[in-house]
Amino acid sequence: MRAIEICSIMSSLTLSDLHPGDTATIVAIHAEEALHQRLLALGFRSGKQIELIRTASFSGPLQVRIGTTDILLRRNEAAKIKVCRA
Amino acid sequence: MKRIALLGMPNTGKSTLFNRMTGGAARVGNWPGITVELLSGRILLGSDMVEIIDLPGIYDLHGFSDDEQVVRHFMHDNVPDLALVILNATQIERQMSLLLQLKQLNMNIVVLLNMADEAKKYGISIDSRKMSEMLGMPIFLLSGKYGTGYPDALQAITKALRYPTPGMAEQLRSQLEQDEHIESEMARVLKHAVQVPAQLPESLTDKLDRVMLHPWLGLPIFFGIMYLLFQGIFFLGQPLQGWVSDALGWLRVTALDPACAGLPAWLSGLLLDGIYNGVATVAAFVPIIILFFLFMAMVEDSGYLSRAAFLMDALMAKMGLDGRGFVMLLMGFGCNVPALMGTRVMRSRSLRLLTMLVIPFSLCSARLQVFVFITAAIFSPHAAPLALFSLYLFSFAIAILTALLFKNKFRNNEPFVLELPPYRFPTLRQMLLRGWLEVKHFLNRATQFIIAGVILVWLLTHLPASAAPASAGTLAGMIGSALHPIFAPIGINEQLTIALIFGFVAKEIVIGSLAVIYGSSGEALGSALGQQLDWVQAYSFMLFTLIYTPCLSAIATLRSESKDLRYTLLTVMWSLGLAWAVSFIFYQGARALGY
């Protein structure tokens, strides 16, 4: 088994746990239908590389990058996206 | 060994079913034709071992997202003996398309309608026998925890696997190859014509954002930019306003006064002191309006508004709003009406209603005119921009207060996900185009409201003919004194009360109607106001103007967007009550402190 598979089964790391500058791979998205659709439309898919660019102060939203797209999302939305550190 | 492929849209309970079928004994495996690993498990069905593969959830069998390609490639190179299709029964009308796409492939299919109990709660009734007949495939309803329907489904799967499906694999492959042709064409063009580096080099946007979105500096920079913008509008706009006003005054003295000399006194009064003075006073604001919209267009097109949403979201969340709501508030600085309509992007009704309750407190450009005029008339040139800026702060404070008070009434948990565009330098053409469109809109409103408004004000202040113009004996004077008990405690006199009544229709009329009431325009009107009002009264008047209902168009928009008369009344009553209360506290407080 490759590291990423082990991670996808074992770990409970989510996008909201990452620190600015971290790169990770999306493993799963556990969001309700509407949010799931919106995330898909913005390029969130399992297997995709995602980079956390920065977080806003006062536990504000996160700025993440998938490919060439930058996206803002709140921490509780980010917590629904399971990732594995690259 | 026979193969069963588990297919369905995302979030249909596919993986839960997979775990249930395999008893959790799944393994990750490689499959020919695809580069990602898929979970599969082996179970005993009847007397044979079969392998079940959990394919990624897809919306469209012929789509070109990564997952959709994976599913197609898997099926092409590992044709399953049976496709087990899971549909979410609560979204049956949307999910049916995937089933029909699979049916077209002539596959051996068993359908499971999941979440049947939930569908029942929504009042959705599905006749699975009828559906099964029409589609020519076995269909089973499963309830939430597969308490019912599961054994029947397993039996049908076992039965379906018993019959071989001659020729299916070839047919399926040839159909899937049509999509593969598009895939390879797409890949070929992308490979030769497009290059995307794995890690993007640091762009200008990244460098700018490191400063603009800095954890500590971001917010101060944002407020600094806003302050400079409004200072700039004031600094550049005031001289322009003066020149336009002088030019219009000169036109009246040199051309219009002599031209109207032959007319009856009342008619030349209506034309010159009424319509011309009113319209000229408003027209003098056109340069400031143009500047304002040029600057707004610049900020909007630059991509900075999404950054503002990023910076402010944490604070907005505490008020039950989100970063987009903050952007709408900023848009409201131009005009509340498009900002109210902009809330359509929000899915949650509660969030929309709360945002729409707050937007009318945005100091729109029509109110800006009133404040520019009055601050210039009452305050020193040095203090006037500060007074104006303080009104912007009040605008925010009132919005915050309103959101905090109403956030529990309009609770929501709408997700906040937004794309962040790169910075773009707005072209001069775009800015001018935007500015021109806004000015056209302003002039349209002017012809609709302002001329009718100033004529009405002139009539009210000159009828009955026996009374001296604008005196207590006129209709306006009577209305003013009737409302005096309400407005006296907040320092607003009878003349200003009339202007406020017209401001209910549109704030653009306020200064025009003051021009008619005082029978003078431009600087003369300014000094007349300056003599009659002290700064406490003037500021109280501005506070009331800021907070009470923006205009009839805004109310109409609130009504049409919310489709709720009671909500619309709430917004109107709340803003009127709050306007009075804030002005009262300010006026009485300032007087008590000896100002």
User: Which pTM does this prediction carry?
Assistant: 0.66
User: What ipTM was reported for this prediction?
Assistant: 0.90
Question: Based on the domain organization, do B245 and B180 belong to the same domain?
Answer: no
> Is residue A1's pLDDT more than 60?
no
User: Residue B72 maps to which CATH number?
Assistant: 3.40.50.300
At A19-33, the pLDDT tens digits run 999 999 998 888 887
Question: Based on the domain organization, do B58 and B177 belong to the same domain?
Answer: yes
Band of the pLDDT at B35, cuts 50, 70, 90?
low
Note down the domain range covering B540.
218-413+433-592
- The 3-state DSSP class for residue B434 equals helix
Q: For residue B533, tell me if it sits in a domain.
A: yes
C-alpha distance from residue B409 to each of B24, B353, B378, B406, B559 (Å)? 45, 10, 40, 5, 19
Note down the domain range covering A41.
3-85
Domain count, chain A: 1
Q: What is the pLDDT averaged over residues B461-478?
A: 80
Structure tokens at B37: 């690993």
Nearest-Cα distance to chain A for B37, in Å, is 8
Best mutation target among A32, A49, A72 (most B Cβ atoms within 10 Å) is A72
Q: For residue B254, tell me if it sits in a domain.
A: yes
Q: What is the pLDDT averaged over residues B488-512?
A: 87
Q: What is the pLDDT averaged over residues B211-233?
A: 85
Q: For residue B143, tell me if it sits in a domain.
A: yes
H or E element that contains A27: strand A23-29
Is residue A75 less than 8 Å (CB to CB) from chain B? Answer: no
Question: Based on the domain organization, do B358 and B268 belong to the same domain?
Answer: yes
Q: By percentage, how much of chain B surpasses pLDDT 90? A: 21
Q: For residue B206, tell me if it sits in a domain.
A: no
Cβ-defined contact of B310 to A61 (cutoff 8 Å)? yes
Q: Are B71 and B79 in contact (CB under 8 A)?
A: no
Going by the DSSP 8-state scheme, the letter that residue A65 receives in this structure is: E
Q: For residue B212, tell me if it sits in a domain.
A: no
Is residue B19 less than 8 Å (CB to CB) from chain A? Answer: no
Question: Based on the domain organization, do B115 and B228 belong to the same domain?
Answer: no
Question: Based on the domain organization, do B178 and B260 belong to the same domain?
Answer: no
Cβ-defined contact of A72 to B67 (cutoff 8 Å)? no
Question: Based on the domain organization, do B342 and B264 belong to the same domain?
Answer: yes
Neighbours of B152 (CB within 10 A): 13
Band of the pLDDT at B300, cuts 50, 70, 90?
confident
Question: Based on the domain organization, do B185 and B223 belong to the same domain?
Answer: no
Question: Based on the domain organization, do B539 and B404 belong to the same domain?
Answer: yes
User: Residue A79 maps to which CATH number?
Assistant: 2.30.30.90
For residue B317, the chain A residue with the least C-alpha distance is A60
Taking the C-alpha atoms of residue B214 and residue B570, their distance in angstroms, rounded to an integer, is 39
**Bigger pLDDT: B404 vs B347:** B404
Q: For residue B197, tell me if it sits in a domain.
A: no
- The 3-state DSSP class for residue B9 equals coil
> Is residue B229's pLDDT more than 90?
no
What is the pLDDT, as a whole number, of residue B30? 65
Band of the pLDDT at B128, cuts 50, 70, 90?
confident
Cβ-defined contact of A61 to B315 (cutoff 8 Å)? no
Domain count, chain B: 2
Q: For residue B17, tell me if it sits in a domain.
A: yes
At B386-422, the pLDDT tens digits run 998 899 999 999 999 999 999 999 988 888 888 888 8
Q: For residue B253, tell me if it sits in a domain.
A: yes
Nearest alpha carbon to residue B165 among B71, B82, B50, B68: B82
What is the pLDDT, as a whole number, of residue A8? 64
C-alpha distance from residue A78 to each of A32, A40, B171, B331, B518 (Å)? 13, 14, 43, 28, 60
Interface of A with B in 3-32 (CB under 8 A): 5, 9, 29, 31-32
What is the pLDDT, as a whole number, of residue B375? 92
> Is residue B236's pLDDT more than 70?
yes
Cβ-defined contact of B310 to A72 (cutoff 8 Å)? yes
> Is residue B484's pLDDT more than 70?
yes
Question: Based on the domain organization, do B145 and B244 belong to the same domain?
Answer: no
What is the pLDDT, as a whole number, of residue B24? 66
Question: Based on the domain organization, do B237 and B286 belong to the same domain?
Answer: yes
Is residue B317 less than 8 Å (CB to CB) from chain A? Answer: yes
At B44-102, the pLDDT tens digits run 888 888 999 988 888 888 877 777 888 888 888 888 989 999 988 888 877 888 888 88
The sign of the dihedral angle between the CA atoms of A35, B338, B368, B534 is negative
Going by the DSSP 8-state scheme, the letter that residue A42 receives in this structure is: T
Task: Report how many Cβ contacts below 8 Å link chain A to chain B.
Answer: 104
- The 3-state DSSP class for residue B62 equals coil
